[in-house]
Amino acid sequence: MASWPIPETRDNSGLEPTLTSNYEPYTLFDIGKTLVMYTSTDASNNVQTCMFNVTVIDNGDPVFDCPSGNIMAYTDESQSYSTVYWNVSVTDNSGNVTYNCTSESGDQFDALWPIIQQNVSCMAQDPSGNDASCFFSVTVDDNENPNITCPSDFNVTTDNGQPTAWIQWDVEYTDNTESLYDLNLTGSDEEDPVISSCPMNIVLNTTSMLPFTNATWMTPNATDNSGNVTLVSTHNPGDGFAATTTQVTYTATDPYGNKDICTFNVTVIGKI
């Protein structure tokens, strides 16, 4: 809104001229330059004009309405990217403003590893050169499980002259982001180890003049189809045993945690 003092008019006729104007004080003016003209006319239709400009300067920046912070998105089905949508708008007191963003709503954002925030920036400018910006980010996470196709169960006979059978198979696996991550295929052995030659129960008398005796036995043998097995025991051959019944336990464990157990008793009778 602009205001000014109304110009004064006078005429040699002594009569007050008629004063007209295209704008009046306290008028709202648009941005830019506007010509204001006063016209003074006397009774004889003689005319005199007065002109000046009202210039309105726009110093108001555009105003953005942008997403705040980070947009979390998940990969599209069977894809390594996510199609992400958002709303961005901008207003300006001039009523005329344009903006551009580094990415547009509906663009595809790749899933990245390591997971990072992918920045989006928008810039706006009005006709007077006032500008504004807004920033937000998009993070794409892969929440789709890999697909795996396993063979059916095998029912085969042993190889000729062997207690075992040689079997081959193929396992297929895919993932929507297989170019992004290393996929590892692992399996497990569900066959327990086997302990053979487990000793029978042992009964002994205490050694003369002592409350115990030493017991010996043949250490059992442990095997596993994986070819790797660990055998541990609660007691070892040659250990001393008191006059009571003590259980000896051997445990065989393969690399997959499968176990077999062998137990026997060592009974020592106190000699009177």
Could you tell me if 90 and 64 are in contact, meaning their C-beta atoms sit under 8 angstroms apart?
Answer: yes
DSSP letters for 71-90: EEEEPPTT-SEEE-----EE
pLDDT of residue 62: 94
Burial class from Cβ neighbours inside 10 Å (0-12, 13-18, 19+) for residue 13 reads exposed
Contacts of 231 (CB under 8 A, 6+ apart): 195, 219, 220, 222, 250, 251, 252
Could you tell me if 133 and 97 are in contact, meaning their C-beta atoms sit under 8 angstroms apart?
Answer: no
Angle ∠(255,195,188) on CA atoms, nearest 5: 25
pLDDT in tens, 209-265: 889 999 999 999 999 988 899 999 999 999 999 999 999 999 999 988 899 999 999
Q: Which CATH architecture has domain 63-141?
A: Sandwich (2.60)
pLDDT in tens, 178-200: 777 665 656 567 788 999 999 99
Contacts of 53 (CB under 8 A, 6+ apart): 33, 34, 35, 36
The third-level CATH classification (topology) of the domain covering 194-269 is Immunoglobulin-like (2.60.40)
In the chain, helix, strand, coil percent, each to 5?
A: 0, 40, 60
C-alpha closest to that of 79 among 117, 113, 115, 111: 111
- pTM for the model stands at 0.53
User: Pairing relation of β-strands 202-205 and 259-269?
Assistant: parallel
Average pLDDT, the chain: 90
C-alpha closest to that of 118 among 126, 128, 108: 108
3-state SS, residue 216: coil
pLDDT of residue 187: 59
CA 20 to chain centroid, in Å, comes to: 71
pLDDT in tens, 100-139: 999 999 999 999 988 999 999 999 999 889 999 999 999 9
Sequence ranges of the chain with CATH classification 2.60.40.10: 63-141, 194-269
CA 187 to chain centroid, in Å, comes to: 28
Q: Is the pLDDT higher at 149 or at 71?
A: 71
Contacts of 99 (CB under 8 A, 6+ apart): 62, 64, 88, 90, 122, 123, 124, 125
Burial 139-153 (b: 16+ CB within 10 A, else e): bbebebeeeeeeeee
DSSP state of 199: P
